[in-house]
Amino acid sequence: MSDLETVLYERPSDHIARIVLNRPDARNAQNTQMLYDLNTAFDRAAQDDAVKVIMLAGNGPHFSSGHDLREANGYDNMDDHDTVGTWCGWHCAGAEAQMAREKEIYIGFSERWRNIPKPTIAEVQGKVIAGGLMLIWPCDIIIAAAGSMFLDNTVGMGVGGVEYFGHPWEVGARKAKEMLFTADWLSAEDAKALGMVNHVVPAAELSDFAMSMAERIAAKPLFALKLAKEAVNAAQDCSGRLNAMQTAFALHHIAHSHNMQVHGMLVDPTGLSPAVKGKENI
């Protein structure tokens, strides 16, 4: 699929699509191109009636180091893509451009992928940092390799959490606060105990385990799978998930605006050093 620059689109069997993040040298840091490639790949799988299960994986030792903070021309890069949301104004002044960009490619994409009416399975290895969580949390099932670790370090950067604020639903309110306040790593085993991860398997068995589950799911009628997914998602939404996430997103943009006024950049540079160090160390 030559139109995809940063992800691979595989069809390992008749009813399964497998999307693979493919910037291993950058630890699968997500730039604008990768997010649009991901969206194109998810759309392709969603709209292919033969596909019943969609898998998401990452090449290299780590699943994703998060958003690519080194991308210098993010607003200009928006012009290179056909946007899928209804916001625009990538070159507006003040808070407008950043909010529009994040509504489109961050919370917008993650929410969009969460609502694909087909089962999605993330197979995860190594480290998953901040924006990396926004790729796996929208998936229905998460299979983690032993030793994989999860982190949201955005509070140290003067922001109250990643844009797709799934923490309370993924790990519970109390652990969500600890995760945000401390930026401590969450182990795969702890993530499983908290309900964020379905299974922890030896790294060498990760893909086979995920594929085996995908095949078992794909043996079921697709319409029933869609209905089951919609029913569980509705249960989360009845608890106010979406409204709470939208509130968190607004607070996230208060933080960006505050940081721009006080520090002249979207994040607090006093917390940036250890965060960037963390990214470069993986």
Q: Which residues are at the interface with Zn ion (CB under 5 A)? A: 102
**64-94: burial string, b at 16+ Cβ within 10 Å, e else:** bbbbbbeeeebbebbeebebeeeeeebeeee
CB of residue 18 to Zn ion, shortest distance in Å: 29
Residue 117 is given by DSSP the state: S
CB of 57 to Zn ion, least distance (A): 25
CB-facing half-sphere around the CA of 122: CA atoms within 13 A:
25
Q: Quick one: 42 or 165, whose CB is closer to Zn ion?
A: 165
Smaller CB distance to Zn ion: residue 100 or 213?
Answer: 100
Cβ–Cβ under 8 Å, residues 86 and 153: no
In the complex, least distance from residue 166 CB atom to Zn ion, rounded to whole angstroms: 15
Tokens 């950067």 belong to residue: 157
Cβ distance to Zn ion smaller for residue 102 or 190:
102
Smallest gap from residue 268 Cβ to Zn ion (A):
12
Q: Which of 208, 172, 203 is nearest to 190 (CA)?
A: 172
Comparing CB distances to Zn ion, the nearer of 38 and 45 is 38
Minimum separation from the CB atom of position 130 to Zn ion (A): 10
**CB of 81 within 8 A of CB of 36?**
yes
Q: Return the number of the residue (102 or 170) whose C-beta is nearest Zn ion.
A: 102
Cα separation, 53 vs 51, in Å, equals 6
